[in-house]
């Protein structure tokens, strides 16, 4: 009888009984059900929105001076008050956050790429390459990180690009070490041996097996590095060795306010609160990423 012929069940029917989820869906769920990730998003999303909408808001431009409104305490018109030249601290802070995020993300990306490249080479090939890379890493790690960045600034000069380069160079040795230790762990895995037995090339092994499998912990390290870079940039700018005025960065805003702490507490303290918020959100982000990306962690 033709009308009772057995038809294969639709895919939807299978998933009704056996809830099959793709890996990506699992990851997405882990990201979105993670309270720390949500915390980070709750700080970063409004901040990002504010930066994007800053030109549309009724704010004074970051560099616009107004001699009629100098050193004004926080008010509705100037949420963070004004400085000694009547510039609006709130719009300057937003501009500073933009620079902070640029620095944080570029340093993390740069350190991640260079660190993974050199770390993979050192760990995978061993021998002389490994020795040479690690000796150089040790030499760079002999300097406390902020000090190394300061020294590099002394050589390269101030400004956005030198600051990013200096912080990244100070951070890369740590990435090389981490990647190298990950590669040493992965190198002896059975699936690497399996790939070798079918004559996979060295490049194939590194690009298809080693790098993807070490990516998760490295991404976590990169998010910590971004938070760290934001703090280092602020420190450098605060010391007068980072982003130079009149361009506002969170660090040099605080530096400018330092002289007027007694008369105008808001110039330094409020941008500092913003740095703290950004640092906390990146910290949450890295914690959340660690939990979401680690396949062994179960909630």
Partner 1 sequence: MLAYSLKKLLQLVVTTIGVVMLVFFAMRLIPGDAAAAMAGDTLSGAALERLRDQMGLNDPLLVQFWNFVRGLLVLDFGRTLTTNLPVSDLIRSAAPITLLIAIATIILAIAIAIPLGTVAAFMAHKGHKTLDNLITGLAMIIDLMPSFWTALVFLLIFSLTLGWFPASGPISWDDPYSIVMRLALPILVLSLSQVAILARMTRTAVLEVLSEDYVRTARAMGWSELRVLFRHALKNAALPIVTVVGLSFGNLLNGTIIVEAIFTIPGVGTVLINGINSRDYQLVQVLMIFYALLFVFINFATDILYRALDPRVKF
Among 238, 243, 249, 285, binds partner 1 (CB under 8 A): 238
Among 97, 166, 167, 231, binds partner 1 (CB under 8 A): 231
Among 172, 205, 227, 229, binds partner 1 (CB under 8 A): 227
Q: Is residue 269 a contact residue for partner 1 (CB under 8 A)?
A: yes
How many angstroms separate the Cα of 268 from the Cα of each of 81, 218, 228, 252, 282?
11, 34, 20, 9, 22
Distance CA 30, CA 35 (A): 10
HSE-CB at 229 with a 13 A cutoff on CA atoms is: 32
Q: Is residue 49 a contact residue for partner 1 (CB under 8 A)?
A: no
Among 59, 101, 167, 279, binds partner 1 (CB under 8 A): 279
Among 150, 164, 166, 292, binds partner 1 (CB under 8 A): 150
Among 64, 202, 258, 297, binds partner 1 (CB under 8 A): 258
Q: Is residue 139 a contact residue for partner 1 (CB under 8 A)?
A: yes
Among 9, 144, 185, 246, binds partner 1 (CB under 8 A): 144
Q: Which residue has the tokens 């640092």?
A: 279
Q: Assess contact for 260 and 267: CB atoms under 8 A.
A: yes
Q: Which is nearer to partner 1, 179 or 286 (CB)?
A: 286
- What's the min distance (Å) between Cβ of 157 and partner 1? 8
- What's the min distance (Å) between Cβ of 262 and partner 1? 5
Tokens describing residue 228 = 């760290």
Distance CA 169, CA 174 (A): 10
Q: Is residue 280 a contact residue for partner 1 (CB under 8 A)?
A: yes
Residue 227: cis peptide before it, omega within 30 degrees of 0: no
Q: Is residue 138 a contact residue for partner 1 (CB under 8 A)?
A: yes
List own/partner pairs for 284-288 with CB under 8 A and 24 or more apart.
284/36, 284/37, 284/39, 284/40, 284/43, 285/36, 285/37, 285/40, 285/44, 285/223, 285/227, 286/220, 286/223, 286/224, 286/227, 287/36, 288/31, 288/34, 288/36, 288/37, 288/39, 288/40
What is the size of the binding site for partner 1 (CB under 8 A)? 41
* Part in contact with partner 1 (CB under 8 A); list of ranges 15-23, 73-81, 145-153, 207-215: 145-153
Kindly list the residues in this chain that would bind partner 1 in the complex (CB under 8 A).
Answer: 135-136, 138-140, 142-147, 150-155, 157, 227, 231, 234-235, 238-241, 251, 254, 257-258, 261-262, 265, 268-269, 272, 275-276, 279-280, 283
């Amino acid at each position: 009888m033709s009308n009772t012929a057995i038809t294969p069940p639709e895919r939807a029917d299978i998933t009704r009984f056996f809830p099959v989820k793709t890996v990506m869906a699992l990851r997405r769920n882990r990201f979105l059900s993670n309270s720390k990730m949500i915390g980070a998003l709750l700080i970063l999303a409004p901040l990002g929105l504010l930066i994007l909408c800053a030109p549309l808001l009724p704010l004074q431009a970051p560099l616009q001076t107004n001699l009629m409104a100098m050193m004004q305490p926080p008010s509705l018109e100037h949420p963070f008050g004004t400085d000694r030249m009547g510039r609006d601290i709130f719009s300057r802070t937003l501009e500073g956050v933009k620079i902070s995020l640029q620095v944080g993300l570029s340093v993390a990306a740069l350190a991640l790429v260079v660190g993974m490249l050199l770390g993979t080479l050192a760990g995978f090939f061993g021998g002389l390459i490994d020795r040479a890379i690690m000796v150089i890493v040790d030499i760079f790690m002999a300097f406390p990180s902020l000090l190394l960045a300061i020294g590099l600034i002394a050589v390269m000069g101030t400004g956005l690009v030198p600051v990013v380069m200096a912080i990244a160079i100070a951070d890369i040795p740590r990435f090389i070490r981490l990647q190298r230790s990950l590669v040493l762990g992965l190198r002896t895995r059975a699936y690497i041996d399996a790939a070798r037995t079918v004559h996979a090339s060295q490049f194939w092994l590194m690009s298809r097996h080693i790098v993807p499998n070490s990516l998760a912990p490295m991404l976590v390290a990169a998010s910590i590095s971004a938070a760290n870079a934001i703090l280092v940039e602020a420190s450098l700018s605060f010391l007068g060795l980072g982003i130079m005025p009149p361009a506002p960065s969170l660090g040099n805003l605080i530096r400018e306010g330092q002289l007027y702490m007694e008369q105008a507490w808001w110039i330094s303290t409020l941008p500092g609160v913003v740095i703290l918020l950004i640092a906390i959100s990146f910290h949450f982000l890295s914690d959340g990423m660690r939990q979401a990306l680690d396949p062994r962690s179960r909630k």
